[in-house]
Structure 1
Amino acid sequence: MSVAGCGTHTAQVLDRNGATVAVANVLTECEWSRVLDGTSSARALIQPDGDCCNRLGTIGSWRSRLVIFRDGQYVWDGPVTSVTWSLGQVEILAEDLSVWLNDRVPHENKTFTNVDLSEIAEWLIDDGFAPDDPGHTVQIIGKAGVSGSRSYTAGVGQTGDHLDQLAEAGIDYTVIGSTFLLLPETHLVSVGRLSDVDMPEGLEVGDDGKALVTRWIVEGSDDSGVIGSDGGTDPVYGLHERYIQMTEITDAASATQAAKARRRTSAQVPVFIDTQQVTISPLAAIDVPNLVPGWALDVTSASTCRKVTQRLKITGVKVTETGGDENTPGTESVQVQVAAAATEVA
């Protein structure tokens, strides 16, 4: 049975062409994360041994990749974005593949008319990597179920920003290794269970009133002049209105769909369960590599005044191992952030 908190990590640094630059024979600290609709990060602290120091001296931002394994299983991969060499150790910081899209722009003019958002997201990703691809794949787990019209102009706007705007209009994405996973906001497949016994330090349950919006107004491009809205005054919460312009939207139907998607996740005060400051018990029957943002956990807790028995979407994962040396494995901690999914909020 797989459990959390008992894993041991190894790491290596590869060149962009896949050649091995260095292997972390003495990995004293390791940390990696996964994020829903965003860019995750990783950190490795390596103690040079033998001729490893010379190899570690050749690591460079963007030309090197940090690859992390947990108990021999591939769990994280991404370009190095910072390296610090100091006496007796080398610290490597990296971000997942989506960070490249923050440094890319659309490379051709493209117009979509009433198509599923997953198709648009796939094109944005593929176009962003088209001139220079470090190696990526796109896997559509399920269609967004939200259609829209969008127009993109070559050289205008960062591709990462365009993708994030789609993620706010009805589709989710997460990056695992070299693969972008696209899935509907309503995706709610459970990968495990957590209860109070799995979180012996307790957990924190909170609601975020600032995230409440009962009516959304979405304006399209200046040329189109379209505006869509959804929602109104809530009998419990009152009226909370929010306006945003999405310049890639070209028709009123798409603006309305974008407004509906935003309201679907903000129409009630969202409830979050955060274990960021709490380590999941090493005995918890959780398969850590399967903790993927966009999937869900069945959470049952009566440890606070706000009792929870709910399937909640994973929004973030953070795994850290510290204290290891050449002879002794380190201590691993696993932290998970979950929140009510769009279907639960609705």
Structure 2
Amino acid sequence: MSSAGCGVHSAYIVDRGGAVVTPANTLVSVDWTRVLDDVSTAHVVINPDGDCCAQLGKVRTWRHKLVLARDDVTVWEGPIIQAEWSFGKVELWASDILVWLDRRVPHQSIVFDGSDLTDIGAWLIEDAFAPDDPGHTVEILGKSGVQGGRQYTEDIGQSGDHLRDLADTGLDFTAIGSTIVLMPEDWSASVGTLTDVDFPEGLVVAEDGTALATRCIVHGDEDSGIKGVSGGTDAYYGLLEQSVEETSVTTSASAMAAARSKRAAAYPVPVFLSSDEVTLSPEAAVDVAKLVPGWCVDVATQVTCRPLRQRLKIGGVKVSEDGDGESVQVTLAPLSSELEN
């Protein structure tokens, strides 16, 4: 296993049908991300040789995808969204497979009454790709434990937005290559341990009181009268209330489940590493390929006045390599507590 700052990348272009169009010879720089509950991106700059230059001239957006490997292990892939050719240089921008959902709509009308959010999410994905599949799989790591009433209408709204709405009320998702992974918000599998020595820029431990809510209320459409409530006055914090409208919620049971999910994320006060992104030491002994949003790392820091020993969820990963070497940054967030019964 290579350490977090010593990886070497390679890239190649693949046709929609699966054939390799060309390797991307002479990479100048590589940037790729992984994101929880949204679309991740990648960017490469190439100084192509003669043969590679001719093949790269054939690249077409949406037809071809960019595939990135780190130390010969594939770490990212997705359709090319933008390409630029200039003298001695080719730049490619790509997004992961989830971007297709932002260009798809529901292809049939359907009503879910009391289905688990993971089942609803899986339906949205399969329905979106049913007329034309660029090549995908869905992996469900576990049920969300949140029962949802949802209604979708043919040709109304983008499928990606519908999936993100589910992520607001108890479901997490991410892309690993051509696989879309669905998991509960409290998924807590750990992929490693990080300590102070792994963060050369230091850590800032923060408590975000702005996110605290002891009572959460979720309303359906304002004309429906549907409402779900979780929590109340807390013996320690008192009463802090949050009220939101989720127009896709169609039953009282799903409104209650959504309220429980929101309270689980907002109580107790989230304690986390305040940096949006923390850069790992080049010697950090973590497998970068396994740093996947939705999974967790165990973090222990003793150098601040508030020591932290906590399992934190990976919210995002950003990897860059150029002539100066490789940089690996991670975004870490509190792990939602278990939902109320």
- Quick one: which amino acid aligns to residue 290 of structure 1? K
Evaluate the alpha carbon distance shift between residue 154 and residue 24 of structure 1 in structure 2; reply closer, same or farther with a 3 A threshold.
same
Evaluate the alpha carbon distance shift between residue 275 and residue 85 of structure 1 in structure 2; reply closer, same or farther with a 3 A threshold.
farther
Distance across 2 between alignment mates of 1:345 and 1:112? 21
- Quick one: which amino acid aligns to residue 65 of structure 1? K
- Quick one: which amino acid aligns to residue 105 of structure 1? V
Give yes or no for contact 1:205–1:273 (8 Å, CA) kept in 2.
yes
Deviations, residues 77-105 of structure 1 (Å, cap 9, x unaligned): 11111112223211111111111111211
**Which residue does the alignment assign to 2:289?**
289
1:278 Cα deviation after fit: 4.2
Distance across 2 between alignment mates of 1:340 and 1:243? 22
1:133 aligns with 2:127: no
**Which residue does the alignment assign to 1:121?**
121
- Quick one: which amino acid aligns to residue 286 of structure 1? V
Deviates more, 1:122-131 or 1:224-233: 224-233
- Quick one: which amino acid aligns to residue 331 of structure 2? Q
Distance across 1 between alignment mates of 2:207 and 2:162? 29
Give yes or no for contact 1:219–1:246 (8 Å, CA) kept in 2.
yes
Length-normalised TM-score, structure 1: 0.92
1:27 Cα deviation after fit: 0.6
Give yes or no for contact 1:224–1:251 (8 Å, CA) kept in 2.
no
Please, which runs of 5 or more residues in structure 1 have no aligned partner? 324-329
Distance across 1 between alignment mates of 2:32 and 2:274? 17
**Which residue does the alignment assign to 2:101?**
101
- 1:225 is paired with a residue of what secondary structure? coil
1:331 Cα deviation after fit: 1.0
Deviations, residues 185-216 of structure 1 (Å, cap 9, x unaligned): 11111110100111122123333333333332
Give yes or no for contact 1:9–1:71 (8 Å, CA) kept in 2.
yes
Distance across 1 between alignment mates of 2:50 and 2:27? 14
Evaluate the alpha carbon distance shift between residue 299 and residue 133 of structure 1 in structure 2; reply closer, same or farther with a 3 A threshold.
same
Distance across 2 between alignment mates of 1:271 and 1:50? 53
**Which residue does the alignment assign to 1:159?**
159
**Which residue does the alignment assign to 1:326?**
none
1:63 Cα deviation after fit: 1.6
**Which residue does the alignment assign to 2:62?**
62
Give yes or no for contact 1:216–1:242 (8 Å, CA) kept in 2.
yes
**Which residue does the alignment assign to 2:16?**
16
Matches within 5 A, 1:1-346: 1-221=1-221, 224-273=224-273, 278-323=278-323, 331-343=325-337
- 1:22 is paired with a residue of what secondary structure? strand
- Quick one: which amino acid aligns to residue 22 of structure 1? T
Give yes or no for contact 1:276–1:335 (8 Å, CA) kept in 2.
no
**Runs of 4+ with deviation above 6 angstroms:** none
Matched pairs, number: 340
Distance across 1 between alignment mates of 2:110 and 2:284? 48
- Quick one: which amino acid aligns to residue 203 of structure 1? L
- Quick one: which amino acid aligns to residue 329 of structure 2? Q
Distance across 2 between alignment mates of 1:15 and 1:218? 45
Give yes or no for contact 2:43–2:93 (8 Å, CA) kept in 1.
yes
Deviations, residues 38-88 of structure 1 (Å, cap 9, x unaligned): 111111111111122222222222122110001111110111111122232
- 1:139 is paired with a residue of what secondary structure? strand
Distance across 1 between alignment mates of 2:225 and 2:180? 33
Distance across 1 between alignment mates of 2:320 and 2:306? 29
Distance across 2 between alignment mates of 1:6 and 1:51? 29
Evaluate the alpha carbon distance shift between residue 317 and residue 9 of structure 1 in structure 2; reply closer, same or farther with a 3 A threshold.
same
Deviates more, 1:35-44 or 1:15-24: 15-24
Give yes or no for contact 2:260–2:339 (8 Å, CA) kept in 1.
no
Deviations, residues 261-280 of structure 1 (Å, cap 9, x unaligned): 01110123322225655431
Give yes or no for contact 2:277–2:331 (8 Å, CA) kept in 1.
no
Evaluate the alpha carbon distance shift between residue 274 and residue 94 of structure 1 in structure 2; reply closer, same or farther with a 3 A threshold.
farther
Evaluate the alpha carbon distance shift between residue 256 and residue 276 of structure 1 in structure 2; reply closer, same or farther with a 3 A threshold.
closer
Give yes or no for contact 1:274–1:337 (8 Å, CA) kept in 2.
no
Give yes or no for contact 2:146–2:254 (8 Å, CA) kept in 1.
no
1:223 Cα deviation after fit: 6.2
Note the aligned Cα RMSD (angstroms): 2.0
Evaluate the alpha carbon distance shift between residue 345 and residue 228 of structure 1 in structure 2; reply closer, same or farther with a 3 A threshold.
closer
* Identical pairs, percent: 54
Deviates more, 1:314-323 or 1:234-243: 234-243
Deviates more, 1:290-299 or 1:146-155: 146-155
Distance across 1 between alignment mates of 2:202 and 2:27? 30
Deviations, residues 272-311 of structure 1 (Å, cap 9, x unaligned): 2256554312221101101111111110112223321111
Give yes or no for contact 1:268–1:345 (8 Å, CA) kept in 2.
no
- 1:260 is paired with a residue of what secondary structure? helix
Give yes or no for contact 1:66–1:78 (8 Å, CA) kept in 2.
yes
Deviates more, 1:185-194 or 1:224-233: 224-233
- 2:337 is paired with a residue of what secondary structure? helix
Deviates more, 1:237-246 or 1:253-262: 237-246
Distance across 2 between alignment mates of 1:248 and 1:153? 11
Distance across 2 between alignment mates of 1:284 and 1:268? 31
Distance across 2 between alignment mates of 1:304 and 1:190? 24
